[in-house]
Every structure is written in C-alpha cells, then in structure tokens.
Structure 1
Amino acid sequence: MTRLTIPTEKPPYVVKEEPLGNAKHVKIIGIGAGASGINMIRTLRKNLTNYEFVVYEKNDKVGGTWFENRYPGCRCDVPSHNYQFSWRPNPAWSNFFSPAEEIEQYLNETCEEEHMLDSIKTRHRVSGAWWDEHRGLWDLNVVNLETGEEFKDQANFIIDGSGILNNWKWPDIPNLESYKGDLIHTANWPKDFDYANKTVAIIGNGSSGIQLLPAIQTDVQKLYHFIRTPTWVIPPRIMTMKMMGGPAKDMISQIELDDKENFSPAQIEKFKKDPAFYRKFVKAIERDISGVFPVLLNGGPVQKFAQSKTVEYMTAMLGGDEKLCKALIPQFPLGARRMTPAPGYLEAVRAPNTELVTGGISSVVPEGIQLESGEIIKLDVIICATGFDNTFVPRFPLVGRYGNVQERMKAETPKAYMSCALPGVPNYFTSLGPNAPIGHGSVLTLLEHIARYVARVIGKCQTEGIKAVAPSDAAVEDYARHVAAFMPRTAWAAPGARSWFKGSGGAADAPVTALHPGSRLHFFHMLERFRGEDWDYVYDDGGGANPGRNRFHYLGNGFSTMELDPGFDSTWYLDEEADSKL
C-alpha cells in the first residue's frame, strides 16, 4: 500500500527591510554593582548599540565585596597595581596590597568619573526571575529596599554579577543565637566597634580570620583563635617573588617600599610621571601572578620546592613551637586551600594573649563557647570569620526551561558552560559562575574577559535575529566531564582538605566547583572565540511577518550597515593588516 504524503505549506517568507548588521533594541538587567557590574557598564558601552542597561544593587552604595567588608586589617591579597581595571589604571595605590577602603574608593570614583551612576539603582534587590519562552523575555520581581515596594520589570537578558564572596553566612554552631555578648561577622562589621581590652574569640582561619587576628591582637585583653583545619600561610609576596626568581624579581628591586610595604611618596610620583615605567612594573607583576599555576600541579617540582620553602617559613615564624606547627602547618598539598600572605599572623598566634583552640565546639552558651570537652570559654565578643555561601545556588527563584535553578543547584553538582552560562536558562549570564577562575589572580581583569565574551553573545543576538540563546545540555555535560577529569591533577582537589573551592559547603571530599580547570591565561585563551556550535538558538519571528523563524532573516535587504555609515572605511579590506585579523 502506497502512503500519500501531503506537503505542508510553509508560511510565505518575507525579506527583512533592514540592512545586514542592524542591531535590534534589547533591555539588559544587571544584578550587583560590585566590580563585575561596574565593568559590565563600560564593556556594553564599548561594544553594543541600541540597548538599555539597568543594574540593581542591594546595598546603599556600589562596591560589592569592598563595600561590605570593612573589618580591621581587611585588604586584597593580589598586588594593588594588578587589582584594577586595565582601562582604569591607578598609579597612586598606597600599599603593595591595597586596604579595603582604598579599593572601595577606587570603585566609587570609577563610577562617578565614568558617569555610570545613572545606570545603577542602589537599594534595589531582585527577588525572582521567570523566563517566558513565547515572548523571549525575563519577567523579574524587584524590591525597593527603601520603601519596601515590590514591582515588576522585564528584560531580554540578565547578567548576574552578584558574585560569590559577598553572601556571608553564620557558622553552623548550635545555639549561636543564645549568646549574650557581641556577635559579629567579619563581612558585617559594625562601624567604630570597640574591641579594646576585651576577651575575644575569632572563629575561622580563612583569609578574613588571618587578616583580622594581627590587626586586633595587640589591643584585646585575651584572644581565642578557633580553627578546625590548618592553612598555608605563604611568605610575604615580595619575598616570594625574589625567592622564586620570577619575572617581577628585577622590577621589585627598583621600587621604593617601607617595611610595611607602603610605596614611598617619591615612588608614587614616579608612577604618575613615568607611564612607561609604570606599565613595565604592572606587566612584570602580572606575569608573575599568571605564572603561579605550576605550584598547584600535584607532584611537580615547582610545587615541591614552594611547599618546602613555605614549611620552612611557617616553622620559623612559629618559633619552632611543636604544638603550633602541628596545628597550623597542613599535611595536604600547598594550594589545596587558598594560599594567603598574612603579615603578622603567625607572630600574633604566638603572642602571650593569644590561645589557639583546635578542639571542637559543642555549642554557644549565653556567656561564651562550650567545647566538646565540656569546658566553657567566657567571652565578651565572638567574631565569626566563617566566610560566605559559595554553593552557586541563586539567591532568588530563577526559573528557566527546566524549572527553578535553585532546586537543581541544591540537588546536584553545579554545572555551567565555561563558568558564564547555565543549561536550560536562556539569555542569562553570570560573571563568576561554577568553575570560574576566582582563585586565578586579579578578578578585575578576569571580569573584563568575561564581560567581553558576554557582550559578543548579546551582540550576535541583536544583529542575527536571535530571540533566545542557551548553551546546549550536551556541551555543558561535556565541559563538566572535562572539569571533573582535570581537577585531580591539582592541589585544589586534595582529599581531606576542607575548602570553599569545593562544593557541598566546602566538604573535604566534594568536587571542586569554584575554580577553572587550568591557568589564568588558559581561561583567557578559552574565551577568545565564541563556539557557536555549543549553543541552542531560537530565532525571531520576523516582527509578525512570520518567515518561519528563518535563521537568515537578519541578512535583510541586501545592504550592509558598513556601507551606509559615512564614517566607516568601506574599503578596509584593502589594508595590509586586514588578513591578520582572522
């Protein structure tokens, strides 16, 4: 029996009466006005046309992490002149490692002088986002934190720059709320808090804890330092640069610094007046930072050498004290937890008024902390240097094609496409998503590369008639398999080492979710090209003409925006360097 095939009639195709290259209007909503959101404003200005960008920021001011973190001793552990935007150099940094208030000032001045504040709505928090497949739009709920009013907004694209180091959390200790004294988190430090002559506990020895301890130790009466895992405290960075003989060694010898690593006034003036020397200095330090990756490769000669020198340094700074060395010097590889330069920390741990506590905490009681041994330590102040929620679970319902991303992130290991896009979540990008290079040197220049990548994707959608774009499930799964196979090569995945680099709240044997599987330059190289084959597309419907969602509808009326722009060199292809731009 012969089956008859009845041809289905396609809707008539209508040519788009616009030139190739015309950019459709899109609205973009950004979340967070920390370094990521600030840089994104500038990147979109430089790379896109015909768009609207609104950034919702929950705090009173811009700055993100550097607005929120203001505990004594807070500073960046990346050299100052590399912890800045490449497009906004600051030769006037006061110290080799910038204090928090100086970084916050830098970000504020950048916003003001680059006229960015009109794009930012402070005291506004996104409370939910829902993808509408038919319209190709995000519907958002936003709360005005000044008035309490909740209102709706919509956008073609969301760029989530809320970060992973500003959603602080209390430690999971029973009866924490029962404490009657001052209970403080380092990321929510009370202004002008007086800790002098008090009995103080610092819980945690991550970067916040080891910066805070030497800053307050000399002023408190008694300091109890509670830790549960040793951590690597590396020698001063300048000493390390000289010892390892890296690219910065010769430049460091030409720089005037005092014993607290402050730049001399003459040095700052030279940076301002000699741009060539300043740039040479910045690039030398950057090369040194980018060359750290071999230290993290398990069993390699660089790691062995660096680890042996770090053990020597820590032992010397601890005065060879057997008890302190056993408690503080890790047995896991160098780099399994974040390597932190901590001037004064090891010396402060040895001070007569400091007591290191490694025994487990049973609970908090009204007068202090009760140990598992039953002993109660009476305290005036408990300071929790216990970090942030690094689970990558969105802070609001984010509902894409597969439902609420919050539920999916809680149920399985977080996965992303090259850290900046999620499967089944169209037109959504994140600056520092799962397996981003957060531990790979200066995050500010990393954000620049991510922002340019995101801008290229949005620009493609604007000019090629794409309504929705998301990484394919297969591409994300393949990328996740590569990450999982690569990480055991590194110290980050060391079994038995608790770290916020890992999922499941930093559990010792959890997979690495917070770091990129490669070096800093490897990440930059990876984002150079947009792999269109890894993405799924939904095309525009032609504005009602309904050309069957033809992917080539954007080709338009046969003309190019290039030839219609009187300021464009329409014979650029005759230039000698044209063939070098492949």
Structure 2
Amino acid sequence: MSVVTLTKESHKDPTPFRIKHDMADHALGPNAEVTKSDELPTLYTSSKVAIIGGGFGGMATAMTLKEKLGEDDFVIFERYDNFGGTWYVNTYPGCASDIPALWYSFSNELNSNWTRIQPPQYEMEEYILKVAEKHQLKNYAKFKSSVTKIQWNDDASNWTVYVRNEDTGQLTIHTAKVVVACSGGLVYPKQFEAKGLEDFGGKYMHSALWDHSVDFKNKKVVVIGNGCSGNQVIPALLKDYNVKSITQVVRSAHYVSPPIPSILLKLYYLLSFSRLGLLFVRYFVIAISELRYPLFSGDGFFAKLIRSASRRVCLKYMKTAPEKYHKILIPDFKLGCKRLIFDYNYIPSLHDPRIELRNDPIDHVSKKGLVMKSGEVIEADIIVACTGYVVSKSFHAYEIIGRNGTNIGDIWYKQGASAYNTISVRDCPNFFTIGGPNSATGHSSVVMAIENGCTYMSKFLPKILDNTYKYVVVKTDKYNEYFETIQKRLKSQVFGSAFGGCASWYTENGVNSTAYAYSQIHYWWKMNHPDYNAYEYVLAENKKTK
C-alpha cells in the first residue's frame, strides 16, 4: 500500500486525459456500432483470466490478481484507447466526482494532493492513469477491443470470448478459464428524443459525448435535464464558456444538497503528509456517509428522522435560488428516490441573468430551436442533452451464453438483470461481475463497492486458477432466492420505487437492478464472509464435492 502524488499536468492541458470525440461517438453515439470485418484472418489467443473493461472495476480486478493472488496471466479488454472508463469518456464542462475523491479512489493508492474534494474529470483521469502506469497495467491491456460475446464451453470448461478490434474490425477468439465483467453501468447515453431533432439547424450533443470543438461563445444554449450532469454543466458554461444565454428545460425535480463543507478539504490537506493521515480522513468520510444510510431504507423511526433532517438541509439550500424557480426545483417525493445531487455551484448560478429555468413540456424541435406545447419557440444555437444513461443497456452490452447453452440475456430481459451477492450469475461458471447488478448505493463510493467485490472474488479464484476446481458456479436456487429477496426489500426503499414516490433510472419495468438494498458495511461483511454452500464446486476430475 502506498501514496500517489499527481503532477497536475492535466490542469495545464486536459486534452490528453479526454477521449477523442469521434471515438466516443463511434462507440456510444446514436449510430454506434462495433466495427466488424471478416476479411482479416481470425486471431486466436488465451489467458487464465479475461477482464472486460478498463475502468475502476477492471483495474481493481487486475491489481487484485497481481498483488493479492500473484497471478499475471490475464488480459484486459477495453473498447477505448486508454484506461478510465466513464472518467475517460465523460468530459463535459464541470464534470467532477460528486463523492469525495479521497474515498472515490483505490484504497491501496491514496492520492496526497487532490485540488478539490470533488476534483474535475481530467484530474480523476490523471490519477487513474498514474495508478495504471505504477502497476504496469498497459502490459496486460488490449485497447480498442470490444467484446461482443462470451460463451461457456461445457466440454473444455472454459470461456470463449469474441472480441472485435475497433479500428480494423478484426475478430479475436480468446479462451479463458475465468471471465470477470467490469463494464460499469453509466455507459450508454440516453439520447434526447423529440420529433424534428434531425431538422435542428444548430449543434446537438449529449453531455456524455461532449464535442470540445464546438464554440459556445455568445451562443444561445438550451440544456435539457437537471440531474447530476446538468447540475455540473450549467455553472461551467456560464463561467468558462461565455455563453450568451442558457435555457434549462427541467423535466423533473431533484434534491440538491449543499456543497461538501470546506473544512473537509482543510482536514485532508492537514493530514495528507502521511498514509495514516489519509486513511483517517477516508474512514471519517465513510463513517459520516454510513450514518446517512437509514434515510434510504424503510419508514422506521431513524429512517424518518434522518430523511427529514436531510430534506430540511437540502430545502434550505435550494431555497437560496431565486424564488421564481422554487416550484420547479423542489421535489414532492422522498429524498433519495432520484439520485441525490451534491452541489458544487449550480444553485448560486441560477442568479445569473443569462439563465432561465423552464419546466413546460416540449412539443418538437424546429430548425430554430425548441417548440413548446404552448407554441412558444425557444431559439437555440446549441442543444445539450443532460438526459442521463440507459443503465439496462449495460447489462446487455454483449451476449452471455452460459452452461448448457443458457442465454443469460434472455433471462435478464424477462425477469431483470441480477447476480447473487452482486457477483455471481446463474449457469455461468467461473464468471464474476464487479460493479455488477445491484452493487450501487445512494450514499457510498462505487470504488469501495468494487474493491469489496474483488475481495469476494479473490476467495474463490485461487483454487480455480491452480486447477483444483474445474469450475465454481452459484446454485440456481440461491441465485433466484437472492433475486426475490433483494427485489422485495428494494420495494420498501426509496430508490425509484412507489414507496419513494418517483420514477428514476434505478428501476425499470418494476425491477431495480441498480441499487444495493443494504448498507455498505453490510456489503463489506457479505463480501468478506461468503456463504460457500451457495455454490457448486466441480473438481478437475469432474467429481462434485459440494
């Protein structure tokens, strides 16, 4: 365990820490597709472990294999040309970590010089690349490599991974004993859909696919949406892009929490001289955050108390916005039903005379801009969609065929995506999902959840990798029992549920495949103390031992 110190070169020139727009658009844009060519010869490769994704999850898995398990026969397949995942692709103005970075980072590589508690995207990416370089992860990475299908071979007891090169379309067929899925959830942009958008005479872009070549100076800008990305984009456009005006069309209200108190940054700087000091601040933040967990869960005494207190804090802060916007801004559902926004400068920016909030419905888009249901035309030179992500699409990013030809995609389409303890999928031997279904929380760091998941996985891998076991797979009845249990519990929680009083991306078609139903301390305990009886173990000699 060590400490990382950044050079801050990303502040001088953020460009090397951002994906090229054409690459992002090719992979994630409205007309995204995987490059395919069958004219080039098929390549055949193999490794003990195949890791899908090179963001925080893929990197944490790689470091677990190297440092904890002493295993270096693995490959990381990453569709982009560098590490970072969402922190490499999402480069919109103001993009930043909403969870304090001293917690939203690897526990074995704490950074000693974050510029802010919520550092900007390019600084987060600089940190990610620094860690990747330190652990020599590029030696294991296959960039510009999109996985299209994985299939379990019942006879050989291994996985076949089908991979396409994003430049040439060349197919690689890769075999691996173990596959670890680390693709993440906030990947595929949910595009703004309105009649006539193709006729718009200006420039349209989704915040997740930002085009830095577009000049915003003295332009009339329309921003659709007011979630986390909209909250971050607005102040940056006003401050740094010299826009002429911004009309923000608010589709629904969100709770906005005050900025994280500056005292935390001061405490961080005071104790950043040593790893012990950094750990103290990290665990302090974890403890404070865990105290907030009850507000997301049920309607008991502590849940009501903490939810009520948190709501009062949010409302007091939100009411510092101009009074004319209060009805637009303030929600009528329970706090946490939609993701809570930790503000940086959005609410104060609403006093800028160049911005106007609207919540009336859009009818269609014309050449000049938005046409509202009232018939009013809102002229625009640029339309920016801050409309979030299609989380469910991430669960179907590639085809998964398990043992006996089981199509996992079909199962997930019918009942919703799930994984036992967020890690193991039925009929998928030697397959682990890190940051998978139901691993996200409303109050915690996804990086901590990722590391907890790696801990769980590492308890099963050694006897798979040394060929003691031919394979390990979760029992189907345990998988189904977990799915039913967690979905029942989530219905009594606030995450996009009837109990919470709103609809949100947490839940789709009545199934919440996103949120974890318990506290992060509970998750840590479950990841460190697996129920080994929930799994089927097959020896290399094909003898069932459990």
TM-score, normalised via structure 1 length: 0.80
SS at match of 1:362: strand
Q: Do the aligned partners of 2:296 and 2:442 also contact (CA within 8 Å) in 1?
A: no
What displacement does 1:26 show?
Answer: 6.5
Match of 2:102 among 76, 81, 92: 81
For residues 444-523 of structure 1, the aligned pairs below 5 Å read 444-463=447-466, 465-495=468-498, 496-504=501-509, 510-523=510-523
For 1:47 and 1:413, the matched residues in 2 are separated by 33
Q: Do the aligned partners of 1:487 and 1:493 also contact (CA within 8 Å) in 2?
A: no
Q: Which residue of 2 aligns with 1:428?
A: 431
Q: Do the aligned partners of 1:335 and 1:492 also contact (CA within 8 Å) in 2?
A: yes
For 1:176 and 1:55, the matched residues in 2 are separated by 38
The amino acid of 2:325's aligned partner reads: L
What displacement does 1:236 show?
Answer: 1.7
Change (3 A) 1:174 1:398: farther
SS at match of 1:491: coil
What displacement does 1:229 show?
Answer: 1.1
Gap regions ≥5 residues in structure 2 = 1-45
| 346-355 vs 34-43, which moves further | 346-355
Change (3 A) 1:50 1:393: closer
Q: Do the aligned partners of 1:437 and 1:520 also contact (CA within 8 Å) in 2?
A: no
What displacement does 1:457 show?
Answer: 1.6
Q: Does the alignment pair 1:256 with 2:257?
A: no
Q: Which residue of 2 aligns with 1:544?
A: none
What displacement does 1:552 show?
Answer: 6.1
For residues 259-408 of structure 1, the aligned pairs below 5 Å read 267=269, 270-299=270-299, 300-315=304-319, 317-319=320-322, 321=323, 323-391=324-392, 392-401=394-403, 403-408=406-411
For 1:443 and 1:125, the matched residues in 2 are separated by 23
For 2:89 and 2:486, the matched residues in 1 are separated by 32
For residues 107-186 of structure 1, the aligned pairs below 5 Å read 107-186=128-207
For 2:81 and 2:385, the matched residues in 1 are separated by 23
Q: Deviations over 1:130-161 (max 9, x none)?
A: 22111111112111123221221111111111
Report the number of matched residues.
491
Gap regions ≥5 residues in structure 1 = 1-24, 240-251, 258-262, 505-509, 542-548, 554-582
SS at match of 2:152: strand
What displacement does 1:272 show?
Answer: 4.5
What displacement does 1:53 show?
Answer: 0.6
What displacement does 1:521 show?
Answer: 0.6
TM-score, normalised via structure 2 length: 0.85
| 467-476 vs 398-407, which moves further | 398-407
The amino acid of 1:222's aligned partner reads: S
For 2:531 and 2:72, the matched residues in 1 are separated by 24
Change (3 A) 1:277 1:416: closer
Superposed CA RMSD in Å reads 2.2
Higher RCO by CA contacts (8 Å cutoff, separation 6 or greater): 1
The amino acid of 2:164's aligned partner reads: V
SS at match of 1:527: helix
Q: Does the alignment pair 1:550 with 2:543?
A: yes
Change (3 A) 1:127 1:377: same
Identity %: 26
What displacement does 1:298 show?
Answer: 4.1
SS at match of 1:489: coil
Q: Which residue of 2 aligns with 1:211?
A: 232
Change (3 A) 1:155 1:178: farther
Q: Deviations over 1:79-120 (max 9, x none)?
A: 121111110011111111111111100000111111111011
Larger Rg: 1
| 336-345 vs 30-39, which moves further | 336-345
